[in-house]
Amino acid sequence: MEKTIEKTCRYLVASDLHLERVPSHSSHALNFDQDLADMLAHHGCLAPGSISWKLIFNGDFIEFDDLEQPENLSLVESRRRETGLLGFDHIPEGDWRTPARKLNAILASHALLLKTLAAFLAQGHEIIFIRGNHDLELCWGPVQEELRLLIASGCPAGLAAGSMDRLVRENIRFVPWFYFEPGLLYIEHGNQYDEYASNAHNLYPFSLGDKPRVELPLASLYMRYFSSRIEGHNPDILAKRRALFPYLGCLVRSNWMNLPKIPLYYVQVVYQALNQLRNRDGLRLSMTEEIERRMLQDIQRSSGLSYRTLLALRALAQSPALDGWIHWIRCSFLDLTLGLLLNLSVAVALLIFGHELEQFHLLVSTCALLAALSVSRGKQRAKTAVAHSRFKDIARRIAALTGARYIVFGHSHQTDIASWRLPRRQEATYLNLGCWAPFEANCFCYLLIDPLKKSRTGLMRWDARSRQPATLSATPSPVPQAKATLRRLFHKNSGR
């Protein structure tokens, strides 16, 4: 039976907060808890009222990809022993402790955010977390439980601890794929349409074995084993992979000692990717597919979508970079890297030993030309690595499959709006939320949906200075001084 739209509920959707550990001396640019609190208060979410709200975080809520492991594990383990765990189907026990430590370390510097979310829940509202590629570890049941406990720690004065505990258990939901309101809303992070950030098994992203581990996409391997280890790295500036080569140039110019580290760390990324590709066999894959089949059946029951529709939605995803050897070699630039090294090696050998050859100058010139072509091809491939322009076409197909009026993505950090009239006179609108984190031109953006008042529905940008939202009717221009803020953050991290 098809569900009806929940007319008495309003929706606020924010994407890509990328919460990180904030130093006590940090500028406002790194700590934006107050902005989120002001936005929720402006819409009346923190005061008693008859209207219920759903606050949906559309992926990349936590930045798990760029944080060293905290040393202290005692708090996490003691909480787990004292409170026990909620029951989470299909989630294996394993090495959940590292992301739980990271979660504690990050949210320790976001006390205001925790209090705001607890106050939101205290009014009877609901919070929904959709997984992205930077917070993939929220697939762990114990990590979900830890986030619930941390939000409960911000319990408002006057509310009993038992009541807060009940609220975080009943009114916080974690969805593994998308959030769906029939006829109204389809929300998905969008990383599955990016070959560098997608997973072959997004519903159950574990490598089965004696010690299950989360299978990270290639972009996360680069973040954790390559870029985040280079001195002066700032993940908030490296938001678009097409800016990779200029960014690496900035890192080298800021500190020449980074130059020998780049190939070393690149080799380590290749090693980690090889391990992930090698640890696959038919039996484990069949077990994973069976688990995902059962999860799809659960989603079918909860969403009201047919099983065939769910399979059609899954088929829209991009093939992950780590889905096969050939695809991985191309996406890792390994073919171009080996070609560049081969041509440079031959050129050096000719310069040292080949002066007497008749075609010496021609051979050296050919090797240099081929090396230059490898570099040029690499730059071109990096610029087109993530073609977010195809998001619109994917959103159109999702609208046709689900009948949703609004199709909402994040991931790209670029706000976008497009509308269509589909067959049967169905109107559909695609909205990309950009990001909330203030490190991008398209920041502090969110979606407000009021089913009762269509005029209030739209993509908004929160103005921290005036504490008022502005409605965006098209792709917005950059926030004033956004580029200056990025330059300031980079120079601060690079020590300049």
DSSP 353-399: H-TT-TTHHHHHHHHHHHHHHHHHHHHHHHHTSS-GGGHHHHHHHHH
Query: Which ranges of the chain have pLDDT less than 70?
Result: 1-7, 23-31, 50, 66-94, 208-212, 230-252, 254, 279, 281-282, 331-335, 354-358, 377-388, 425, 439-442, 454-455, 473-496
Of 220, 178, 200, give the one whose Cα is nearest residue 64: 220
Q: What are phi and psi of 489, to 5 degrees?
A: -65, -40
Residue 168 identity: V
Tokens of residue 244, six digits: 């990779």
Contact criterion met (CB below 8 Å) for 318 and 198 = yes
Contacts of 481 (CB under 8 A, 6+ apart): none
Q: Give the model's pLDDT for residue 432.
A: 92
Q: Which residue has the tokens 């909480």?
A: 79
- CB count within 10 Å of CB 375 equals 13
Q: Which residue has the tokens 């089949």?
A: 293
Contact criterion met (CB below 8 Å) for 444 and 482 = no
Contact criterion met (CB below 8 Å) for 151 and 114 = yes
Q: Give the model's pLDDT for residue 383.
A: 58
Contact criterion met (CB below 8 Å) for 378 and 245 = yes
Distance separating alpha carbons of residues 201 and 419, to the nearest angstrom:
31
Q: Give the model's pLDDT for residue 75.
A: 45
Contact criterion met (CB below 8 Å) for 316 and 193 = yes
Tokens of residue 214, six digits: 């989360």
Kind and range of the H or E run holding 460: strand 458-463
Tokens of residue 375, six digits: 């570099």
**Neighbour-count burial of 427, counting CB atoms closer than 10 A to its CB (0-12 exposed, 13-18 middle, 19+ buried):** exposed
Tokens of residue 29, six digits: 């640019």
Distance separating alpha carbons of residues 128 and 14, to the nearest angstrom:
11
Tokens of residue 333, six digits: 């630039």
Q: Give the model's pLDDT for residue 457.
A: 81
Residue 290 identity: E
Residue 2 identity: E
Helices (H), 22-180: 33-42, 74-83, 97-107, 111-122, 141-152, 161-170
Tokens of residue 417, six digits: 């709006």
What DSSP designation does 96 have? -
Of 461, 476, 435, give the one whose Cα is nearest residue 42: 461
Residue 422, beta-bridge partner list: 426
Helices (H), 255-390: 258-278, 282-303, 307-314, 325-331, 334-353, 360-383
